[in-house]
Amino acid sequence: MLSRLSVKAVRSQRLYSQSASGAYGNFSRPGRTRTAGPVTLASSAAITAGALLWYSSIKTLHNDASPAELIDKARDDLTIGFDDGALGGVVWGSNNYNLIAPQSPGVESIRTPASAAWLQNAALRDLALHERHAACVDARGDVYQWGDGFFGNSPSSLDAQRSPTLTLRGKHTRPPSQALPHPQPRPGIDQDLSSALNNLLTMLKFYLNMLFTGEKGEFFRPRAMQLFIVISRFVSISAGSDHLLAVTSSGRTFAHPITKNANSHGQLGFRKFDIPAQGSSGRTHVELIPKSVQDPYARSAPYNRQITEKSVQQEVLPDYNDEKLRFSDTLFEIPGLKGITMTQVLAAGRTSFAKTDSGRVLGWGANEYGQIGLGGNVTLDTITVPTEIVLSRTVSSKIRSKCLDIYSGGSLTGFTVERIDERGVRTVDLLMCGNGRWGGLGNNLFSNAQGNPLRAKSVSGLLEYSDKANALRPLVPHALSISPTGHVLLTLDTHEHSGSGGGGRDLLVWGANQTYELGNGKRTSLAAPTNLEKRDGSRVMLMKKTMKVRDMKGNAWKRSEVEQCAVGGYGNTIVYWKIVQ
């Protein structure tokens, strides 16, 4: 039986050799086929190995390539961008909605810092990231937008790349603090002031609508406010999920309802206001009652109850579409802050903050996780009245405390506080409060709620020797970005007192790290500030320099001073070059 099988195998081998010779040409004599077998086999193996080695070293993509091959090619095209020396953005984290790498729509996440091709050789005035879309202002003041929330459905291949698109041109958009100086009084000042306010509110409403709704086709001029008695300009503007805050150069504080949920947690600071009436030129008076006031036992009751008393909001607002620009066209002054001079306002997701000229802070709005910072004894979920936040609760009464800046994102809040003791020694602390479930508090603890602002470790009370003053100076945070999803980016001002030949600014990261948003290649959340490192193990330093700046189209603008700025989005991070005004 075995002999018959061997004979059949030999015959089949001869038939295969003859068919192969007929197909590719007979270059050897039939009699030498058996003796040349081992040599031919070895040669074929060597040629095959060489071909495989050469094929694996190239990155050729074919039209019928699988999605996995396209993703691998796009990921290989992303290279490190911190050391190239030119102006360019660096990104890492989630790319689900094609925000940080629109040129690579197949890449879902970037684990370590990589260069952004769409930000090469460009410096920006400002950049904002939302969950599904983003917007930026280039050197010329033109506004660009991109992301799946702006374009629509996500592209399925690299051929459908969607780079930032110009949506507002020639308006010279700039941060409010860099607005034009006070206009000089002249005849017809009321008309000029009304026109200036119209232009400012038009740009403000349009820009914020792009950030929160992604619309790009609707445009209108809001109603001029009649509340201004003296000539003022906006110096601080901040937008939350559904509301907006603004403060003027004279210290007056205003709020604006963007949607029907603008006062769900009392974040507006008032309830009653008016909106444009539908189908007429009149005004409709409405009242947005916070949920905790409308139904105080909603969260404590074991069943859903029917609210018997209907509010004005339930009766009137269902007929209004708050997704359009014309839902509300006016900024209203906050009654509880009248007569108090403010220098900064900050609108978090559902929380509001305001800082006085003396460095005291007031907060109101959502407080489920203690994100307002009113202390552990305050357990209310909603604060409807602006309430002062005591930032000196954890230090001696002999130490003077003053808030320098406020930062917030999602359910986390940060305060930079200046401390001066009885000897005159000055230090600066970073205080954090709110939801620290993913370590965002920076105190080596994972806490779901923290109502008392506590010092973040490793970045509070630092001193640095100044070459200029030949003395110790406090190491002040230069910038802080808190993302809505819970990761924190801190830029320490290690460049200010470094002297000639000094380096840049240290970038520290901590908090949530579920989609590689911390840039360390891992998915483990960090509960303490940690220096971000490059691939060679050295620290990432954000630089500052003066060079020729170009706009998003690649056209030369002018020579300007620029610095690297880190911004945290929904599970992602962008470091871009920002124009220093």
Q: Let me know whether 351 and 411 are in one domain.
A: no
Q: Let me know whether 386 and 398 are in one domain.
A: no
Q: Let me know whether 528 and 407 are in one domain.
A: yes
CATH number of the domain bearing residue 421: 2.130.10.30
The answer to whether residue 48 sits within a structural domain is no
Q: Let me know whether 431 and 571 are in one domain.
A: no
> Considering 341, 372, 390, which residue would you say is the last residue of a domain?
390
* Selection from 500, 496, 487, 503 nearest residue 540 by Cα: 503
Helix, coil or strand: residue 525: coil
Q: Let me know whether 378 and 419 are in one domain.
A: no
What phi and psi values does residue 396 have, to the nearest 5 degrees?
-70, 150
Amino acid, single-letter form, for residue 435: N
The answer to whether residue 486 sits within a structural domain is yes
> Considering 390, 419, 444, which residue would you say is the last residue of a domain?
390
C-beta neighbour count of 12 within 10 angstroms:
10
The answer to whether residue 23 sits within a structural domain is no
DSSP assignment of 145-212 equals EESHHHH-SPPSSGGG----EEEE-SS----GGGS--PPPP-TTHHHHHHHHHHHHHHHHHHHHHHHH
Q: How many CA atoms lie within 13 A of 399 on its CB side?
A: 18
The answer to whether residue 11 sits within a structural domain is no
Answer yes or no: pTM beyond 0.85.
no
Tokens of 69: 């091959």
E-strand ranges in 277-396 read: 283-287, 332-333, 342-347, 351-356, 361-366, 382-389
Tokens of 142: 């033109």
* Selection from 494, 581, 484 nearest residue 541 by Cα: 494
Per-residue pLDDT of the chain (581 residues; tens, 9 = 90+): 444 444 444 444 443 333 333 333 333 344 444 444 555 655 666 666 555 555 444 445 444 444 444 444 444 444 455 655 678 899 999 999 999 998 888 788 999 999 888 888 899 999 999 999 999 999 999 999 999 988 887 665 555 678 899 998 877 666 644 443 333 333 333 333 333 444 444 445 444 554 444 444 554 554 545 445 446 788 889 999 999 999 999 999 999 999 889 999 999 999 999 888 877 778 888 889 998 887 777 666 555 555 544 444 444 566 677 776 678 888 999 999 999 999 999 999 999 999 999 999 999 999 999 999 999 899 899 999 999 999 999 899 999 999 999 999 999 999 999 999 999 899 999 999 999 999 999 999 999 999 999 999 999 999 988 877 888 889 999 999 999 999 999 999 887 655 555 578 999 999 999 999 999 999 999 999 999 998 888 899 999 999 999 999 889 999 999 999 999 999 999 999 999 97
Residue-wise over 199-209: b if at least 16 C-beta within 10 A, else e? ebbbbbbbbbb
Helix, coil or strand: residue 52: helix
Looking at residue 194, its pLDDT comes to 38
* Locus of tokens 């009653």: 272
Q: Let me know whether 398 and 386 are in one domain.
A: no
The answer to whether residue 146 sits within a structural domain is yes
- 194 exposure class (CB count in 10 Å sphere: 0-12, 13-18, 19+): middle
Distance CA 222, CA 213 (A): 18
> Considering 372, 390, 408, which residue would you say is the last residue of a domain?
390
Q: Let me know whether 485 and 359 are in one domain.
A: no
13, 26, 164, 468 from 36: Cα distances, Å: 14, 14, 63, 83
Tokens of 320: 């209004």
Q: Let me know whether 554 and 534 are in one domain.
A: no
Looking at residue 3, its pLDDT comes to 44
The answer to whether residue 533 sits within a structural domain is yes
Helix, coil or strand: residue 225: coil
Say if CB 272 and CB 333 are below 8 A apart: no
The answer to whether residue 33 sits within a structural domain is no
What is the residue range of 344's domain?
A: 183-390
Does an H or E element contain 21, and which? Answer: helix 2-24
116, 131, 368, 516, 543 from 127: Cα distances, Å: 14, 14, 29, 21, 18
Q: Let me know whether 452 and 409 are in one domain.
A: yes
Q: Let me know whether 512 and 573 are in one domain.
A: no
Amino acid, single-letter form, for residue 128: A
Looking at residue 312, its pLDDT comes to 41
DSSP assignment of 449-487 equals EEEEEEEPTTSSS-EEEETTTTEEEE--EEEEEE-TTSE
Say if CB 404 and CB 450 are below 8 A apart: no
The answer to whether residue 1 sits within a structural domain is no
**Domain total in the chain:** 3
Q: Let me know whether 220 and 368 are in one domain.
A: yes
Q: Let me know whether 254 and 267 are in one domain.
A: yes
